[in-house]
Amino acid sequence: MQIFHPGDTGYDDERSGFQTGLRHEPQVIFAVENAREVEEAVRYAETHGLEYAVQTTGHGLTTTTTGVLISTKRMNSVEIDVETRTARVEAGAIWQQVVEKAAPHGLAPLSGDASDVGVVGYTLGGGYSVLGREFGFASDRVRSTEKVGDVVTALEFELLPIDQVHAGEMYFDVTHAEAVFEAFHRWDLPDHVTPTLTTIAFPDAFPGPLAGRSVVRLTYASTKPFDVDHLRVAPTLVEEFGLKPFAEAAGKPLPPHTYQGDNVLLNDLPLDALHRVREKAANAVVPIFLGLHPLGGALTNATHLLKLISPRLGAEKQHAAVFDEVRSFVVGSARNFRYAVG
Ligand SMILES: Cc1cc2nc3c(=O)[nH]c(=O)nc-3n(C[C@H](O)[C@H](O)[C@H](O)COP(=O)(O)OP(=O)(O)OC[C@H]3O[C@@H](n4cnc5c(N)ncnc54)[C@H](O)[C@@H]3O)c2cc1C
């Protein structure tokens, strides 16, 4: 195990993650490789009266620690038992490893839209999969957990017999947002389809036809066929839809960047409230991108998950003002979609 203190070569690399706007400021980092070393790190923290935090990828950094950082990225074995359809992963495994090992056996995990997210962090927050409405939360599939203190050192969970999925996306220029939001809201969604609506502004340097454009993006996936023709209410900038290996719907890694985000779970989202949220986010003084996941199907904790993300820090007040438009429908929030917020 490597141990880093401030000023050591490697200290900054070890504490840096996917979130570039914020980093842990630990007194000491334990770069663990097995459960025994996790135990050593936890004991050190407890003996010295220090708090400890875990980092695998840094995707879900909320608040930083000044105590002990347990860096788990080297502790990342993944084993698949095809007979029992079980995966066993260590603390630092990422989804891509599981997807790659499971796919040759016609199996898949309930992973999300970014393959470089950590399996344990994602699952501890419930885990909203790209097939969530069809199969439920990733956490529902956990078969056993191994822990040292608050650190999960290994997780065993069920894999599903999923090989190919019907999945795709449509991009529209943001000038068509009102019509696209309305069509999305009107969708008589089959329980087996998991869709997402997002707004995003692509940087000028982004390769391809979306460079420099503000867009509305719709994505959808299911193991069963479904129709999306009714969503094509304006000219699409980019569009694709078809039967593909699960790995292609399971998301590609993004480059590390600075972002702040929060979310609310809602028990209703009338169209007029959705339009107010859209307008308020679009007119905010900081860029705010919106993500909307209709729940229902096998995700029964609320009717909608509404996320706001800004490509910078310090946007809490602007996010709160947008959430105010749906405050009367809020029933909670999802731990997974809180980024760089206390
Ligand atoms: C681009 C992007 C796409 C995403 N897509 C989805 C999605 O589709 N569905 C979804 O549900 N979520 C999604 N998320 C959210 C993601 O699941 C959470 O941010 C999750 O916490 C990330 O875990 P991590 O280990 O990668 O990140 P880290 O920042 O390394 O860890 C986040 C937190 O998880 C906890 N944690 C991690 N490992 C352990 C451990 N071994 N023991 C105890 N606690 C631990 C700690 O509290 C830690 O602070 C996405 C996030 C991003 C940035």
DSSP at 258: -
Q: Which one is the CATH code of 78-158: 3.55.50.30, 2.60.40.1080, 3.40.1190.20, 3.30.465.10?
A: 3.30.465.10
Which atom of ligand 1 is nearest the CA belonging to 114? 3
Residues of the chain falling short of pLDDT 70: none
338 C-alpha to ligand 1 centroid (Å): 9
Distance 182 CA to ligand 1 centre (A): 31
- Among candidate residues 122, 153, 12, 148, the one with its CA nearest the CA of residue 59: 122
CATH fold of 164-337 reads Vanillyl-alcohol Oxidase; Chain A, domain 3 (3.40.462)
CATH topology of domain 2-71: 3.30.43
For residue 20, the CA-to-ligand 1 centroid distance in Å is 15
Nearest by Cα to 217 from 134, 163, 292: 292
Rounded to whole angstroms, how far apart are CA atoms 269 and 138?
25
> Quick one: which atom of ligand 1 is closest to the CA of 92?
41
Query: How many Cα atoms are found within 13 Å in the side-chain-facing hemisphere of 92?
Result: 19
pLDDT of residue 234: 98
CA of 120 to the centre of ligand 1 (A): 7
User: Of 65, 88, 94, 117, which is best to mutate to test ligand 1, by the most ligand atoms within 8 angstroms of its C-beta?
Assistant: 117
| Closest atom of ligand 1 relative to the 55 alpha carbon | 30
User: Ligand 1, from 307, 336, 341: best to mutate by most atoms within 8 Å of Cβ?
Assistant: 336
Instruction: Provide the residue ranges of all domains of the chain, joining segments of one domain with +.
Output: 2-71, 78-158, 164-337
Per-residue model confidence (pLDDT) at position 252: 82
Strand partners, 70: 30, 54
* pLDDT score, position 250: 84
Q: Is the CB of 219 under 6 A from ligand 1?
A: no
CA of 230 to the centre of ligand 1 (A): 34
Q: Where are the beta strands (DSSP E) in the chain?
A: 2-4, 28-31, 52-55, 68-71, 78-81, 86-90, 142-148, 151-158, 164-173, 194-201, 214-222, 238-245, 260-266, 289-296, 299-310, 330-332
The tokens for 218 are 């719709």
Residue whose Cα lies nearest atom 35 of ligand 1: it is 121
Ligand 1 pocket, residue 117 CB under 6 Å: yes
What order of strands is seen across the sheet that includes strand 151-158?
A: 78-81, 86-90, 151-158, 142-148
pLDDT (0 to 100) of residue 301: 79
Please classify residue 55 by burial: count the beta carbons closer than 10 Å to its beta carbon, then call 0-12 exposed, 13-18 middle and 19+ buried: buried
Measured in whole angstroms, how far is the alpha carbon of residue 20 from the centre of its chain? 16
Gap between the Cα atoms of 96 and 187, Å rounded: 31
Does the pTM of the predicted model rise above 0.85? yes
Candidate from 15, 22, 32, 56 with most ligand 1 atoms within 8 A of CB, to mutate: 56
pLDDT digits (tens, 9 = 90+) for 278-294: 999 999 999 999 999 99
* Three-state secondary structure call for residue 82: coil
Name which residue sits closest to atom 29 of ligand 1, judged by CA: 58
Span from the CA of 125 to the centroid of ligand 1 (angstroms): 7
